Amino acid sequence: MKKTFLTLALMVFCVIGFTQTPEEMKAWQDNMTPGEHHEWLASFNGEWEADIKMWMDPSQPATESKATTTNEMIMNGLYQRSTHSGEMMGMPFMGEAITGYDNAQKKFLSTWIDNFGSSIMFMEGSYDKTTDTLTTTGNMMDPASGKEIEVRQVLTKVSEDKHTFEMYMTMDGNETKTMEITYKRK
């Protein structure tokens, strides 16, 4: 399958007049081949139950809710689509993430969208093998102020059947934990 895909990709490059050296072709092939970071992402594939804690105000108790998540690798195993559904603040909630490891840039990249806004959040980060943790940083739009908020997310693999997700936002120079999710495999 990989050879067929590679051959097709090479033919497309040739048809559009894109000529490359063997070294450049190898770089393209390496970039389109899933590796150990993609395998790590794939270990999260499947159906998950999510227990969510959210803090709208850090001085107040967390709001708790439940959700379900489905993770699947797509595009020849290069990306993971993560689909979420549940309830938040008494309303139906749906969200989707696309996460991948960019072989050329040597870092994880992800996007997040949900039905609670029209903005797309972009994140990038790195994996720490010793703690089995992916930490990403980026920005999200605050529609109330019209300004971007710095975001840090930490995904920790506890076991093959459990992982945690933490989200922190920096507002007025102070980083605050805003979300904590515990995922258990169905």
Q: Give the pLDDT score at 172.
A: 83
Q: Give the pLDDT score at 165.
A: 98
Single-letter amino acid, residue 25:
M
Torsion sign (Cα): 5, 7, 9, 12: negative
Q: Give the pLDDT score at 4.
A: 66
- Write out residues in the chain with pLDDT < 50, as ranges: none
Q: Give the pLDDT score at 20.
A: 80
**Which backbone phi and psi does 50 adopt, to 5 degrees?**
-120, 130
CATH class of the domain whose range is 37-185: mainly beta
Q: Give the pLDDT score at 7.
A: 64
Q: Give the pLDDT score at 89.
A: 80
Q: Give the pLDDT score at 2.
A: 63
pTM for the predicted model, two decimal places: 0.86
Q: Give the pLDDT score at 27.
A: 86
Nearest CA to 50 among 63, 32, 36, 69?
Answer: 69
Q: Give the pLDDT score at 54.
A: 94
Write the pLDDT tens digit of every residue in 160-178.
Answer: 999 999 999 998 889 999 9
Q: Give the pLDDT score at 97.
A: 98
26-43 burial: b if 16+ Cβ within 10 Å, else e: eebeeebebeebbebbee
Contact status, residue 151 vs residue 138, Cβ threshold 8 Å? yes
- Which residues sit opposite 139 in a β-bridge? 122, 150
